[in-house]
Amino acid sequence: MTYTLTSVVKQFDPGTRALRNYVNFPTRGGRSLPAYYDVTATDSTGTAVTTPLVMCGDTAAVAITDIRTTAHPRRFRVEVQELGDHLLTVQAGSTCTPSGTALVAQPVRGTALAPQGFTLSAGGLHSLALMTDDAVKAWGDNSFGQLGDGTNSNVDRTFAPIKGLSGVVAVSAGEDHSLALRSDGTVLAWGSNSRGQLSDASTYQYQRATPVAVGGLSGVISVTAGYWASLAIVSDGTVRAWGWNQNGQLGDGTTTDHLTPVAVKGLDNVVALATGEVHTLALRSDGTVRAWGFNGAAQLGDGTTTARTTPVAVDDLTDVVELAAGHGHSLALKADGTVEAWGNNIFGQLGEPPSAIVRATPAPVSGLSGIVHVSTGASSSLALTSDGTVLAWPSDAGTPASTGGAPPHVPAVVGGLKTVIAVDAGSGHHLALQSDGTVQAWGGGGAGQLGYDVAGNRSTPAPVTSLGSVKLPTP
């Protein structure tokens, strides 16, 4: 008899450069993000066997819930609630016993949240990449100094490393500014400071063409650059925000711009953020989601179109492992590999026929399963499957045309890509990081944000040939 343990959502293994089972569980406050595991048993001929099986943890810190259904007869929800190494095992029968024989085992780990994030980021009209040699490179529009080369010239397309950056572990590109997170938990910013998004009072409503330190921040583990705002998660699970706040997207209970970081009210145990044009999403360690900011398209998912200046719960959404926020819509990847969407659907970005009627609460995107990563552009959506395939929708919002005559709102395979491990969408362009460290780009390219020698749009992916090797993300 052969027994296997398979997680629905995968993680990238930098050692093998391949997707693997979900084994590293970000843990805080006795909770971790959840994972779903399926147990299978086959005989020597490969035929499935229905003998009773149960999943067990080595200690009480590994919380396992039996959630089997007709479609998934041996599915279990797993949380690792303490830091350190643990073990998942499968035993025969319906009850775990200390003396039971482990038919198959899977090591897992509760991990402390350390500085980490994306190594490839698409912004408004520019792109950023963290390279294998730890240099940061930028390309595309530089009207506000967002390429960090000391100028606001758009002439340079040589992918020269940004000077003055060291120890960078993650980058994030906003509408026209850029952020870099360093391994010591500090943050650097450059580009437009039109609404204080650089946290640099000396250049308010101006710009910085080289990186400057964001004051008043330490112990940062993740950053995200929004439209004209910036946000950071600090090591205690709380969130800081600064910049544009006209619609309450900083979450401090006001609509006043802030030139220095302020705390987002009533928010803790945060492990991930996503920023849209004027709204923000936060993922908590228990798999629930909070949202705040503009809500005219119901992108907060609380059942209303009322703007919120402090976080509110997204309705009926649990077991989330990743978020993405567009200009007026939101996506959530769940631990079972499905995706839920809400907000604006004028172009079909929710995976439904285009409509001016907004969706005020989350609902599944039809036809998606086995998804491991999601991203959103201004009005487009991307999903990465466990086999490295990229799906995009709608076809009339800068994504490739649907295949097989399918309607434009139906997720379609993006051709010409190989073993993709991460995708990121900017306002109108898209980047895909492949397992060999190379990047492909497509979509709007009028400002050079696709990284080609000649600026212009592309409906299909093409290699960013002069870039070099981008650092692969750590799980």
The residue to which tokens 């039971």 are assigned: 100
Q: How much is the average pLDDT of 385-396?
A: 88
**131 is a domain residue:** yes
Q: Report the candidate in 273, 318, 271 with the shortest Cα–Cα distance to residue 293.
A: 273
On the question of pLDDT at 204 being above 80, the answer is no
Same domain, 107 and 144: no
Q: How much is the average pLDDT of 245-259?
A: 97
Same domain, 350 and 457: yes
Q: Residue 399: which pLDDT band, with cuts at 50, 70 and 90? A: very low
Highest mean pLDDT among 72-76, 174-178, 203-207: 174-178
On the question of pLDDT at 15 being above 80, the answer is no
Which value, in Å, is the radius of gyration of the alpha carbons in the chain? Answer: 22
Same domain, 148 and 23: no
Q: List CB contacts of 46: < 8 A, sequence separation 6 or more.
A: none
Q: Helix, strand, coil shares of the chain as percentages rounded to 5?
A: 0, 45, 55
**51 is a domain residue:** yes
- Tell me the three state secondary structure of residue 201: helix
The pLDDT tens digits for 76-89 are 999 999 999 999 99
On the question of pLDDT at 38 being above 60, the answer is yes
On the question of pLDDT at 401 being above 80, the answer is no
Q: How far apart are alpha carbons 246 and 256 in whole angstroms? A: 6
Q: What is the DSSP letter of 202?
A: G
Pick the range with the lowest mean pLDDT from 228-242, 245-259, 315-329, 401-415. 401-415
**88 is a domain residue:** yes
Kindly state the percentage of the chain with pLDDT values over 90: 80
Same domain, 243 and 161: yes
User: Domain holding 94: CATH number?
Assistant: 2.60.40.10
Q: How far apart are alpha carbons 43 and 57 in whole angstroms? A: 25
**472 is a domain residue:** no
Same domain, 156 and 182: yes
On the question of pLDDT at 395 being above 80, the answer is no
Among 73, 91, 111, which residue terminates a domain? 111
On the question of pLDDT at 475 being above 70, the answer is no
Q: How much is the average pLDDT of 274-302?
A: 97
**Residue 54 belongs to domain spanning:** 2-111
Side-chain half-sphere of 349: how many Cα atoms within 13 Å?
33
DSSP 121-175: EE-SSEEEEEBTTS-EEEEE--TTSTT-SSS--S---S-PPPTT--SEEEEEE-S
Same domain, 155 and 33: no
The burial of 238, by beta-carbon neighbours within 10 Å (0-12 exposed, 13-18 middle, 19 or more buried), is given as: middle
Q: How much is the average pLDDT of 316-322?
A: 95
Q: List CB contacts of 70: < 8 A, sequence separation 6 or more.
A: none
**306 is a domain residue:** yes
The pLDDT tens digits for 142-159 are 999 999 999 988 755 678
User: Domain holding 198: CATH number?
Assistant: 2.130.10.30
Q: Residue 281: which pLDDT band, with cuts at 50, 70 and 90? A: very high
Q: What is the DSSP letter of 145?
A: S
Same domain, 207 and 81: no
Q: Report the candidate in 299, 290, 208 with the shortest Cα–Cα distance to residue 241.
A: 290
Residues 210 and 165 sit within 8 Å (Cβ to Cβ)? no
Can you list the positions of beta strands (E) in 183-327?
Answer: 187-192, 207-213, 220-225, 229-234, 239-243, 258-263, 270-275, 279-284, 289-293, 308-313, 320-325
On the question of pLDDT at 67 being above 80, the answer is yes
Residues 195 and 244 sit within 8 Å (Cβ to Cβ)? yes
Q: How far apart are alpha carbons 316 and 301 in whole angstroms? A: 9
Q: How far apart are alpha carbons 202 and 179 in whole angstroms? A: 18
Residues 115 and 126 sit within 8 Å (Cβ to Cβ)? no
On the question of pLDDT at 254 being above 90, the answer is yes
Q: How much is the average pLDDT of 378-400?
A: 83
Our count of domains for the chain comes to 2
pLDDT of residue 397: 45
State the alpha helices, DSSP H only, in 255-355: none
**470 is a domain residue:** no
Q: How far is CA 114 from CA 144, 329, 392, 401, in A?
A: 31, 29, 31, 39
Among 111, 132, 166, which residue terminates a domain? 111
Give long-range contacts, CB 8 A cutoff, 24+ apart: 451-456: 451/127, 451/139, 451/140, 451/157, 451/159, 453/157
Same domain, 99 and 172: no
100: tokens are 């039971």
Q: How far apart are alpha carbons 285 and 459 in whole angstroms? A: 38
Same domain, 456 and 324: yes
What is this structure's pTM? 0.93
CB atoms within 10 A of CB 359: 21
**315 is a domain residue:** yes
CB atoms within 10 A of CB 8: 23
Give the residues across from 110 on adjacent strands: 25, 84
Same domain, 263 and 128: yes
* Helix (H) or strand (E) segment spanning residue 140: strand 136-140
Q: How many residues does the structure list for the chain?
A: 475
Among 85, 111, 137, which residue terminates a domain? 111
Same domain, 101 and 135: no
Same domain, 179 and 39: no
On the question of pLDDT at 111 being above 70, the answer is yes
pLDDT of residue 155: 57
On the question of pLDDT at 253 being above 60, the answer is yes
